[in-house]
Amino acid sequence: MTATDGLVPAATSTGAEGWGLRPVRDPDAEALVRQFVAAGGPLLSERGVAGARAYLEQSAAAGAPGPHVERVEDRRIDVDGRTVPVRVHAPASEAPLPTVVYCHGGGFVIGSVAASDAFARRLAVAGPCVVVSVDYRLAPEHPFPAGIEDAVAALDWTAEHAGELGGDPGRVVALGDSAGATLTAAAVRRVTAAGRRPVRRQVLAYPGAGVDRARTTAFGGEWPLTDVDSAWFAAQYLPEPSMRSDPDSALLTADVTGVPPTTLLLGGCDPLMPEGLAYAAHLTNAGVSVDLHLYAGQIHGFLTFPDTALPRSREALGVVTNAIRNA
């Protein structure tokens, strides 16, 4: 397991304590948090499902649209009597490109390919790579494990159709951030356990691993992922107690034998950071190659913020694209 940002773990530690990490936001992240707090307004959980979704979509629509991509098209995957919509971003290229199956964040409740379009465009151009962005089903209408099933369908479909999309079928990478990282980890584990290996590498940005969030509040608990919203998201996605102990939601209990090499990005001021460290150790203990990148001072969601708001997101995007190129 490798690490960056000058943070070296104690040899036997799997928790945040072993990294000598202090939850102090860097100046850009601090300014962003203060700006949001000063603006006021209800939490996502206080807006309700419809209101939270509308707020995110409106916020995304008001932001910068992302760079031009040569070809952007919406496709539909028909599987098991349902349809999984995906949006394909394909830059111009004479040679087949790496292909990335991307699951957006949003607590399993909010988000869409439209809301994450700007990031998908930045990723496609920076790669360069073909990006297949998955519009997976959301809770509470579709609780666990619906989103995982859609991610699995997207992985299998992309492996089969990468060539016609302008991608290289031999270089498919699974990428997710936040809730999308949790879905990605579970989906990759499922296809691996089934003997299908469509993915060369998985890239996970600040996944939730299903541990008690009360233990992580020292590393965040404020915007953009408050303790209240985190609990609300979990209640929508995992309404039955048995769901919370399933290996596909409690990632630290999952058998990850044979999972492909993993790149993991974590923020030092993210309440999910300690469980991300624990998941890195879980993978390493199973013999999985883990490339761990810790960004001290960074808040939850830092990868997908535009670099005009969080300059270090440019560096994080570079780590992601390097992992994709080398898959």
User: What residues are labeled active site?
Assistant: 178, 270, 300
Q: Going edge to edge, which strands form the sheet with 290-295?
A: 71-79, 82-90, 130-134, 97-103, 167-177, 201-205, 262-267, 290-295
Confirm if 135 and 102 have CB atoms less than 8 A apart. no
The Cβ-side half-sphere exposure at 154, using a 13 Å CA radius, reads 34
Distance CA 107, CA 236 (A): 9
Q: Which residues contact 235 (CB under 8 A, 6 or more apart)?
A: none
d(CA 121, CA 144): 28
d(C-alpha 69, C-alpha 174), whole Å: 20
Identify the CA nearest to 119 among candidates 63, 53, 56.
63
* Residue positions counted in the chain: 327
Q: CA 250 to CA 186: how far, in whole Å?
A: 9
